[in-house]
Amino acid sequence: MSGTSGSVAAATADDEYEILCDDAGSFLRRYSTEDGTTVATDTELDGVTAYAPSGDVVRCDAEQAAEPNPLIGSTAQRQTGAGAVTIAAGARSVTLVVYAGAPTVAIGGGTAVTLAAGTSLSWGVDRGGPGGEQLQDQFVFTGVAGSDFVISSTREV
């Protein structure tokens, strides 16, 4: 049995589409390639009505220019025996680990709560950056005789 095989190629345009946005809203951009030349044609979303972009053209799902990531400063403080550690309002995170004794914590000037040895607590916010979230309260950790605890915190610098 013998035969031949082959393919037939016809010269056709290669079209690709993308939905873009500008100051006026969404529109359709068609990229056509014919004879090695690419041509971009803008239309309304119906694909027929001509469209003239206004303002900056971006992908519709593109986020606005991202704010630069803030610098984050970290501190770790150990308190043994009597004494206090204060974390000012505006921190991004605060973490406490109690190793011994019964220190207390007062948040935002509220009533102090006694903590048992082995306690581990954390407070934090998700979004930082300029205008981002911060813990709004001051934290005051007070050690008594026999206390041993560590406080770590982060904040934008």
**What domains appear along the chain, each with residue ranges and CATH number?**
14-59 (no CATH), 72-156 (2.60.120.10)
SS (H, E, C) the chain: CCCCCCCCCCCCCEEEEEEEEECCEEEEEEEEEECCEEEEEEECCCCCCECCCCCCCEECCCCCCCCCCCCEEEEEEEEECCEEEEECCCCCEEEEEEEECCCEEEECCCCCEECCCCCEEEEECCCCCCCCCCCCCCEEEEECCCCEEEEEEEEEC
pLDDT of residue 4: 59
pLDDT of residue 3: 57
pLDDT of residue 111: 96
Closest CA to 77 of 156, 154, 157: 154
Closest CA to 82 of 143, 22, 41: 143
Q: How far apart are CA 36 and CA 57, in angstroms?
A: 25
Per-residue pLDDT of the chain (157 residues; tens, 9 = 90+): 555 565 555 556 678 888 899 888 899 999 988 777 888 899 998 889 999 999 888 888 765 555 566 788 999 999 999 999 999 999 999 999 999 999 999 999 999 999 999 999 999 987 655 667 899 999 999 999 999 999 999 998 8
pTM: 0.57
